[in-house]
Amino acid sequence: MSYSTLVYVGLALIELLVTVRAILRPHRNPASRIAWVVVIAVIPVLGVVVYILLGETNIGRRRVERSKEVLARMPATTVETSSDSKHPENKVPEPYDHLFRTAHSISGFPTVGGNSAQLFSVSDETIGSMVSDIDAARDHVHLLFYIWLTDNNGLRVADALRRAAARGVTCRAMADSLGSRQMIGSEHWEAMKNAGVHLGVALPIGNPFLRPLHGRIDLRNHRKIVVIDHRITYCGSQNCADAEFRVKPKFAPWVDAVIRFEGPIARQNQHLFASDWMTYVDEDLVPMLSEPMKAESSGVVAQAFGTGPTVRHSAMPEMFESLMFTARREIVISTPYYVPDESMQNALCAAARRGVDTTIVFPAHNDSSVVSAASHSYYAELLAAGVMIREFVGGLLHTKSFTIDGVVTLIGSANMDRRSFDLNYENNILLFDAALTADMRRLQEDYISKSNTVTHEIVSGWPVRTRLWNNAIAMLGPVL
């Protein structure tokens, strides 16, 4: 047998083995299996390389083992109610209770009342509130961001951490190694360390050429968590950066929404932060998580949950779809990235078809042309079902908000795309409160008032080349 024949046979065997692996890989829908088999078969050698780089949701065996060890050690989040509480279980009305059971199935946190909350919709004001809370901290400050820039707001937070550490407050700050590489590699990161701030890097890349051998380089920690003194927490879409977002200035301003909570819900975000921190930093935070949360029957009822590659499969899309199927009167969504799987697209269309007033707001100009094209491929079907589509023209609408029936709100870091479903670590808070949801609805209506309406005529008028591009990009979804 000639050398060339041996090479051919060897490559064919490798291609066969990789194809078998793609077919046997768990937690993959049939469309994804078919797409990967086609890629591997149609593009010899290169298809195998692409599969090795992007075909599996893998952060690395050691990181998976470490994450499992940390989660196994985390104490349960118990609730301690006051003796005068008339409703110690903080029950949500029956039509919406199952939503919180779904959230509980993800992270195991209970539904807790006794929270106060304030919605922020201006980036500088959000960061200003965080800085004020850091300046008032007495015991500890915990902070985690996907993107932390060395701009005005990024440095305001860094300086506040340095001041807090100088007066004896324990400060722990973590940032994603890719999204926050500018801050991590800067003199400001070193200055925080020298001031006594404990620093951690999530999902460190190390050598970018060797990283793919140990796990995908594009799996990131997309969470945005701030916890102060066990009682204050922030949850929303905002990164630690200016609205001008200087790394992508032509799409500015970035438009975000964040809710500041005060109450027992902070302990749940504390657990999420601690699980990330202990995975990458050799420090045990379990003792500080052991005290029960004190909850009241009054105030905002809320529940946190975190999703990611090492959390159970389909957790985030299940939450989105549960909200869609639960709504009886109204659904309003804002999201910058919409690349749903088939079941989610069907759920949103089904809501509109059964008479639910359904509106979804996207940015008119997206920072990702690929995601924008994929999103556009779903417009015709959404419009045909009766979904109202708006495109926000006041900047890049980055807010991830979901309200139903004027009483339930979901806010957090997760987008409605496959990256947030399977590849990124995300954190969200589900809440039941008519007043706070009304605040969110007013903000959503402000987005709508600054948006253009997308009609059947507009979509049907797109040229063939545009529709071909949109649909071709959407077809790549199952292989990403």
Q: Output Rg (C-alpha) for the chain, integer angstroms.
A: 23
- Euclidean distance between the first and the last CA atom of the chain, given in angstroms as a whole number: 39
Question: What is d(CA 109, CA 49) in angstroms, rounded to the nearest whole number?
Answer: 40
CA triplet 214, 215, 217: central angle to 5 degrees? Answer: 120
427-328-323 Cα angle (round to 5): 15
The length of the chain is 480
Per the annotation, the verdict on 405 as an active-site residue is yes
Provide the residue type at 410 as one letter.
L
Q: Hey, which bits of 399-463 come out as E strands?
A: 401-404, 408-412, 416-417, 426-432, 451-454
Which residues fall within 8 angstroms of residue 113, CB to CB, at 6 or more apart?
A: 87, 90, 295, 296, 297, 298, 299, 300, 301, 302
Q: Which of 188, 198, 224, 376 is catalytic?
A: 224
Which of 159, 229, 357, 439 is the catalytic position? 229
Closest CA to 420 of 340, 321, 348: 340
> How far apart are the C-alpha atoms of 82 and 420, rounded to whole Å?
37
Question: Is position 84 annotated as part of the catalytic site?
Answer: no
- Count CB-CB contacts under 10 A for residue 187: 8
- Any catalytic annotation for residue 365? no
Asked if 417 is an active-site residue, the reply is no
224 as an active site residue: the answer is yes
Q: What is the DSSP string of 22-42?
A: HHH-SS--HHHHHHHHHHHHH
Pick the catalytic residue: 222, 256, 417, 433? 222
376 SS3 class: helix
Specify the 3-state DSSP secondary structure of 427: strand
Query: Is 367 in the active site?
Result: no
**Pairing assessment for the beta strands 112-120 and 225-228 based on DSSP bridges:** unpaired
Q: Which of 398, 417, 422, 433 is catalytic?
A: 398
Phi/psi at 264 (nearest 5 deg)?
-65, -20
Catalytic residue among 367, 405, 422, 433: 405
Residues assigned a catalytic role: 222, 224, 229, 398, 400, 405
